Structure formats: C-alpha cells, structure tokens
C-alpha cells in the first residue's frame, strides 16, 4: 500500500513500500497523508538527518516550545528571500516551511534576510485592542474598512481574504482566539507561534502568528513559541559548544 494514500501506516505496508517511498513522502511534505502520518514522516526525516548529516538537527526535542516576551520578537524573515538549493531545511515561498523545517540547524546568511517587525504600529493591533478590551464591532474599526477596500480592489489581505464572507469568517476566527486567551490564557500546543532563531539568539517571526503576538503584547503575557530553524552559530552557543554561552544567560532557548 503506497504511503501517499490516506489509509493508516501499518508495519506491513511500511515494509512493502520501502525506504525510497518513505523518503519521497517526507521530502514532498507527505502529500495526501493525514496530520498524524505527516508528523511521523517528519520525525523519520529528522532521525535520518541526525545519522547522515550530523549537526543538521537541533540537540534535544525539536518540538520543545519555549515561553518568550513577545516584545523580543522584533524582526521577521522576508518572504521569497531564500533559495532551496542553498538549504537542507524545506522552504515555502522563500522562507523555511512552518512544520517541515522543525528541528533543523542551518548555517549561512539566512538570518540577515529580515525586515523590522513592529506590530504595535499597524491598524490590526488597534482593532484587536478595541475588540479585546471594549468589544468594539469589527465593522467599526479602521482595520476592517482597510481590508474591505483591498478586497474590492482584487487584493487578498488578512490571511488571503477574497470576499466579504472570508472577512467575516476571519473576524470570527480572531474572536475565538480572543475568547480562548481571555478564558484560559496562552497554552502550549494550542497557541505556539512559529519562529526562527538567528546567530545571536534573535527571535524572528516566520510566517503566521501575528494575532497571538499582538494579544501577548496587549495583555503583557509571555507567549509560547516553537523554534523551527536555528542558526548553527546559535545552536553551538545554546548547547555549550561555544564559549560565548555565558553572554546569553537568561535567553529562553538555552538548552536546559
């Protein structure tokens, strides 16, 4: 039974399929597989890299989340800035892929392909703040009006909204997140923001997560983040291979 089918992966089917098909599935992102099956394949790939590419996978649990002050996430990787042939970690839209790149360690200058990230300055932050504290209707915010205007011009703002129904659905999703955090606070696994970590321990937003970062800022809360790619220089620091570790005492990503 091919691993690309949606049927559960059994030991028998694994043996029949063979390593070549498993490897193909992991490199393609497990297209056609279920959520659990994909993550099994991602873990298989990390194990393979640990053996065949020493130093390419982070030490310890690659799925370990850490808690950070959202104010320390002040840059974001630029989309379409990296080329796959330069990196082992899978890319999507020129940035490290959200889940397929988990646990990878990369050298090079990728951590310089960034732009400043200042979430407090945008209309979305003000809209979320008004919604969180005052229950102000989305339709009365400047942000909502700006999204509607962009959609009517044929653009796809706010996580790919294409029409008015998409905008309303996105508002409902944001409200569910707000209510969840109001009721239970931030939780690991439920609310992790995906980040990358640069050579000096810089925390870089990588893709989605802006709503959770903003809600963390406006509530003064630390938030859970999932580092997917670390720079090799930083990995050496956090694991004690570099003598510079003492300069970074207190950094949330230092290996326990």
Q: Which pLDDT value is given to residue 35?
A: 66
Q: Which pLDDT value is given to residue 18?
A: 39
pLDDT digits (tens, 9 = 90+) for 103-143: 999 999 999 999 999 999 999 999 999 999 999 999 999 99
Q: What is the mean pLDDT of residues 173-188?
A: 95
pLDDT digits (tens, 9 = 90+) for 24-81: 444 444 455 676 787 788 888 899 999 999 999 999 899 999 999 999 999 999 989 9
The residue ranking higher by pLDDT, 215 or 191, is 215
Q: CA–CA separation, 188 vs 24, rounded Å?
A: 31
Q: Which pLDDT value is given to residue 32?
A: 54
Q: How confident is the model at residue 23 (pLDDT cuts 50, 70, 90)?
A: very low
Q: Is 253 exposed, middle or buried (0-12, 13-18, 19+ CB in 10 A)?
A: buried
Does the pLDDT at position 9 exceed 50?
Answer: no
Does the pLDDT at position 208 exceed 60?
Answer: yes
| Percent of the chain at pLDDT exceeding 90 | 72
DSSP 8-class letter at 34: -
pTM to 2 decimal places? 0.84
Q: Which pLDDT value is given to residue 188?
A: 87
Q: Which pLDDT value is given to residue 16?
A: 39
Q: Is 160 exposed, middle or buried (0-12, 13-18, 19+ CB in 10 A)?
A: exposed
Written as six digits, the tokens of 191 are: 């609310």
| Percent of the chain at pLDDT exceeding 70 | 86
Does the pLDDT at position 207 exceed 50?
Answer: yes
Q: Which pLDDT value is given to residue 190?
A: 82
Q: Please, what is the average pLDDT of the chain?
A: 87
Strand partners, 115: 76
């Amino acid at each position: 039974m091919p691993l690309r089918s949606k049927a559960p992966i059994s030991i028998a089917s694994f043996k029949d399929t063979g390593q070549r098909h498993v490897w193909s599935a992991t490199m393609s992102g497990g297209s056609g597989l279920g959520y659990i099956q994909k993550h099994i394949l991602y873990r298989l790939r990390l194990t393979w890299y640990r053996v065949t590419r020493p130093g390419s996978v982070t030490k310890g649990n690659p799925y370990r989340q850490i808690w950070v002050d959202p104010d320390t996430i002040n840059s974001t990787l630029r989309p379409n800035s990296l080329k796959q042939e330069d990196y082992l970690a899978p890319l999507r839209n020129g940035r490290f892929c959200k889940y397929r790149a988990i646990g990878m360690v990369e050298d090079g200058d990728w951590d310089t392909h960034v732009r400043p990230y200042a979430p407090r300055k945008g209309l979305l932050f003000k809209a979320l703040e008004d919604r969180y504290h005052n229950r102000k209707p989305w339709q009365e915010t400047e942000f909502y009006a700006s999204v509607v205007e962009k959609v009517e011009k044929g653009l796809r703002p706010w996580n790919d909204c294409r029409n008015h129904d998409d905008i309303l659905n996105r508002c409902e999703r944001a409200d569910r997140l707000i209510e969840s955090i109001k009721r239970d606070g931030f939780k690991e696994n439920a609310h992790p923001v995906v980040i990358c970590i640069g050579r000096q321990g810089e925390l870089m937003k990588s893709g989605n997560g802006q709503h959770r970062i903003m809600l963390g800022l406006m509530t003064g809360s630390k938030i859970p983040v999932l580092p997917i790619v670390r720079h090799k220089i930083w990995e050496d620091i956090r694991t004690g291979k570099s003598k510079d570790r003492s300069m970074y005492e207190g950094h949330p990503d230092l290996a326990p």
